[in-house]
């Protein structure tokens, strides 16, 4: 759900929007600019509340927030090989790591953190930032395309398995083993995304005409949607709704497509006794005698709903979220704006634009408002409670390899809570050792 923005809007060269990403549960938006980065809460349609802003790191091109917590990961063009992890409410750096080449993308959930380079993927344990696995035998991945399930109980990873075809490698981030490979498309991949439960995987090819959904972990095709036939497009983002009932795709065109994931019955209902109904039945019967490619095209489902942008050719990222108890389509664009649409979950059709927010303005800073207004998530994660750290960095407690605490400290087990984890006090998660690392064959921590 992250996109690197294109050209700057006229007259705003000092604050160009270089990247934007929605967090894992689509309740927060992060943007990177030439001067730093900002975090916004998505709890209201009428007001865009700025949760945090920083100008300490210039020229940010990757910024990822861990759910609604205070943990944020930042990468800057000034040091494109270095990942910085911050606790933004305390204004402290948790750790940083350097890698052998430029960082192209970062994905994280409450169990794992992925760092994707062009020819390798590093998998860290987010509790202590220990390097668990380095995937080296992967095809060149110049765009840093990868996906991580936000469900930490499985932590599935997906990445391209070929330079010439749309093969997807499905990897288990917990057991650190390859699960299967999926022959998703004939052409190369442009976008991949898991649903919230990690039970479905959506993909789109570089042509951008067909979007497919596969079951996880067996890789069976469940759905096939046709975005269009007239022209090839570049898919910018692909995302499921949190309830996995809808799939949203945006591209470099002016149309955002929303598909409905519903099981089709094996027996079709009787068509009405009208001329159009009769022709529809004849049309479907004719597909049995047509070439396979033509027949497949006729049987592909079309968009359930669409959102119209006032521009095309701009880099953008979309998401589906529930704001103030109603389903919304949100589109963040490199033109420096967030567009919010109403979505009719019953009848679909064209989504209505109801609000446009500027992402480059000052915004409203309310650090605690987003957590007060957001309803509890159906699936939550329990924080591991760490003891308050001492003044000296040498006495900061953390996790050892076997899950126990360092220096004899006792850290309680995970407890499942009813709300999202917030890194807003000394009992924060994750209790990470303050460290400096380098990923050049082995991990170094101090």
The rounded distance, in Å, linking the Cα atoms of 101 and 107 is 17
The rounded distance, in Å, linking the Cα atoms of 187 and 180 is 19
Q: Is the model's pLDDT at 365 over the cut of 70? A: no
- Six token digits for residue 156: 């599935």
The rounded distance, in Å, linking the Cα atoms of 186 and 190 is 12
Label residues 208-226 b or e (16+ Cβ within 10 Å = b).
bbbbbbbebeebeeebebb
Sign of CA dihedral 385, 390, 393, 394: negative
pLDDT band at 179 (very low <50, low <70, confident <90, very high): very high
Average pLDDT of span 131-140? 95
pLDDT tens by residue, 28-57: 999 999 999 999 999 999 999 999 999 999
Q: Is the model's pLDDT at 149 over the cut of 80? A: yes
Q: What is the pLDDT of residue 228?
A: 65
Strands 349-350 and 305-308: parallel
The rounded distance, in Å, linking the Cα atoms of 161 and 361 is 41
Q: What is the pLDDT of residue 285?
A: 53
- Give alpha helix (H) positions in 107-219: none
Label residues 230-240 b or e (16+ Cβ within 10 Å = b).
eeebebbbbbb
Q: What is the mean pLDDT of the chain?
A: 78
- Weakest mean pLDDT among 144-153, 166-175, 351-360, 415-424: 415-424
Enter the pTM of the model.
Answer: 0.77
Q: CB under 8 Å to 293, separation ≥6 — which residues?
A: none
Q: Is the model's pLDDT at 408 over the cut of 60? A: no
CB atoms within 10 A of CB 111: 20
The rounded distance, in Å, linking the Cα atoms of 217 and 141 is 23
Q: What is the pLDDT of residue 232?
A: 77
pLDDT tens by residue, 246-266: 999 999 999 999 999 986 444
Rg of the chain, C-alpha, whole Å? 22
- Weakest mean pLDDT among 43-52, 284-293, 369-378, 384-393: 384-393
Domains and CATH numbers, the chain: 17-263+273-358 (2.130.10.10)
The secondary element (H helix, E strand) that includes residue 215 is strand 210-215
pLDDT band at 360 (very low <50, low <70, confident <90, very high): confident
pLDDT band at 379 (very low <50, low <70, confident <90, very high): very low
- Six token digits for residue 3: 């996109």
Sign of CA dihedral 390, 406, 89, 439: positive
Closest Cα partner for 318 from 304, 307, 303, 302?
307
Q: Say which residue, 67 or 362, is predicted with more confidence.
A: 67
Q: What is the pLDDT of residue 410?
A: 28
CB atoms within 10 A of CB 260: 16
Bridge partners, 240 (sequence order): 247
pLDDT band at 302 (very low <50, low <70, confident <90, very high): confident
Q: Is the model's pLDDT at 409 over the cut of 50? A: no
């Amino acid at each position: 759900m992250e996109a690197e923005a294109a050209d700057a809007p006229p007259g705003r060269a000092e604050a160009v929007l270089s990247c934007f990403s929605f967090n894992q549960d689509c309740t927060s938006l992060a943007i990177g600019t030439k001067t730093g980065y900002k975090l916004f809460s998505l709890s209201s349609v009428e007001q865009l509340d700025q949760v945090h802003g920083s100008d300490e790191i210039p020229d940010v091109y990757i910024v990822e927030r861990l759910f609604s917590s205070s943990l944020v990961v930042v990468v800057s063009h000034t040091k494109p090989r270095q990942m910085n992890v911050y606790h933004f409410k305390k204004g402290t750096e948790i750790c940083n790591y350097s890698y052998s080449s430029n960082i192209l993308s970062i994905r994280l959930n409450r169990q794992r953190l992925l760092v994707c380079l062009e020819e390798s993927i590093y998998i860290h344990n987010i509790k202590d930032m220990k390097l668990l696995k380095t995937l080296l035998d992967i095809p060149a991945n110049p765009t840093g395309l990868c996906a991580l399930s936000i469900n930490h109980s499985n932590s599935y990873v997906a990445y391209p398995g070929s330079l010439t075809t749309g093969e997807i490698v499905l990897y288990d981030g917990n057991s650190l083993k390859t699960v299967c490979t999926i022959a998703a498309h004939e052409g190369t991949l442009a976008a991949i995304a898991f649903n919230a439960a990690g039970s479905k995987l959506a993909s789109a090819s570089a042509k951008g005409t067909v979007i497919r959904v596969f079951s996880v972990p067996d890789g069976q095709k469940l759905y096939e949607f046709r975005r269009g036939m007239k022209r090839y497009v570049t898919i910018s983002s692909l995302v499921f709704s949190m309830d996995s009932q809808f799939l949203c795709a945006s591209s470099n065109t002016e149309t955002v497509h929303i598909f409905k994931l519903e099981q089709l019955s094996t027996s079709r209902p009787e068509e009405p006794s009208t001329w159009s109904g009769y022709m529809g039945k004849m049309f479907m019967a004719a597909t049995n005698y047509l070439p396979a490619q033509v027949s497949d095209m006729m049987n592909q489902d079309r968009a359930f709903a669409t959102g119209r942008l006032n521009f095309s050719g701009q880099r953008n990222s979309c998401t589906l979220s529930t704001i103030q108890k109603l389903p919304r389509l949100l589109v963040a664009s490199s033109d420096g704006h967030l567009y919010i649409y109403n979505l009719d979950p019953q009848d679909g059709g064209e989504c209505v634009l109801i609000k446009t927010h500027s992402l480059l303005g000052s915004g409203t800073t309310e650090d605690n408002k987003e957590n007060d207004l957001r309803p509890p998530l159906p699936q939550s994660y329990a924080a591991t409670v760490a003891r308050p750290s001492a003044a000296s960095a040498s006495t900061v407690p953390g996790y050892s390899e076997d899950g126990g605490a360092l220096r004899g400290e006792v850290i309680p087990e995970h407890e499942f809570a009813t709300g999202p984890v917030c890194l807003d006090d000394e009992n924060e998660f994750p209790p990470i050792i303050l460290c400096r690392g380098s990923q050049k064959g082995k991990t170094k921590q101090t």
